[in-house]
Amino acid sequence: RVWEEPILGARYLIGADSGEGVPGGDPSSAAVLKAVWEGDGGLRLIEVATLHGLIEPARYATALELAGRWYNRAWLCIERNGPGLLVVEYLANYPRMYRYETRGKRRRGRPTERLGWQTNWQSKTCLFLELASWITAGRLVLRDRDGVVEIQLLQLDGAKIVGDAARDDRAYGVA
């Protein structure tokens, strides 16, 4: 779904959670966010488009690449767990892909970079706590009502974020 077409010169990023694309499996979900710098120097993110459905990884990678190129060569931030690893590999040559350095692993004396972002219960907790702070501060404007519902269903249980695993894909895409 598209709420706003690209604006020349605007900056965008795309968060993506990948599914296997098979009946009964998790759907893939992506959110296109426009970055707007406010007068106070703060950053505001506005959801301008979403993609959600049972899409196999190769087709999902193609859709993400097309969306990224359409939205002014948007930065792609793809979860690399499970089927996301295939999506990341298909998009390895995309010019603006989020990368992270692995701790302790070095190649020729330099840190090893990995494409996409790796999640575990600790990083997911940090991710969703940060998401909540952006929403509370009014720095993230969400337009996808289904995504808002998924985010509202997430809860903090001790040090972990928990929710309905069957309904958290849009939350991961926007986070």
Exposed e or buried b for every residue in 38-76, given b needs 16+ CB within 10 A?
A: eeeeeebbbbbbbbbeebbbeebbebbbebbeebeebbb
Confidence of residue 164 (pLDDT cuts 50, 70, 90): low
Residue range 141-163: average pLDDT? 74
Which of these ranges, 6-10, 38-42, 93-97, has the smallest mean pLDDT? 38-42
The percent of residues above 90 in pLDDT, for the chain, comes to 52
Q: Please indicate whether residue 22 or residue 101 has the higher confidence score (pLDDT).
A: 22
Q: Is the pLDDT of residue 156 over 70?
A: no
Residue 27 DSSP symbol = P
3-state secondary structure at position 13: strand
Confidence of residue 159 (pLDDT cuts 50, 70, 90): low
Q: What does the pLDDT read at residue 148?
A: 78
Q: How many CA atoms lie within 13 A of 135 on its CB side?
A: 16
Read off the pTM.
0.85
3-state secondary structure at position 25: coil
The token pair at 64 is: 């993400």
Q: Is the pLDDT of residue 86 over 80?
A: yes
The partner residues of 141 in beta bridges, in order of sequence, read: 46
Mean pLDDT of the residues in the chain: 86
Q: Is the pLDDT of residue 3 over 60?
A: yes
Query: Which long-range contacts does 33-41 make (Cβ < 8 Å, 24+ apart)?
Result: 33/140, 33/174, 34/4, 34/7, 34/10, 35/10, 35/11, 36/10
Q: What does the pLDDT read at residue 118?
A: 81
Q: Please indicate whether residue 53 or residue 103 has the higher confidence score (pLDDT).
A: 53
Q: What does the pLDDT read at residue 174?
A: 76
Q: Please indicate whether residue 87 or residue 145 has the higher confidence score (pLDDT).
A: 87
Q: What does the pLDDT read at residue 163?
A: 60
Q: Is the pLDDT of residue 157 over 80?
A: no
Which of these ranges, 20-29, 37-46, 143-152, has the smallest mean pLDDT? 143-152
- Between the two ends of the chain, the Cα-to-Cα distance in Å is 18
Q: Please indicate whether residue 160 or residue 47 has the higher confidence score (pLDDT).
A: 47
Residue appearing with tokens 């939205």: 71
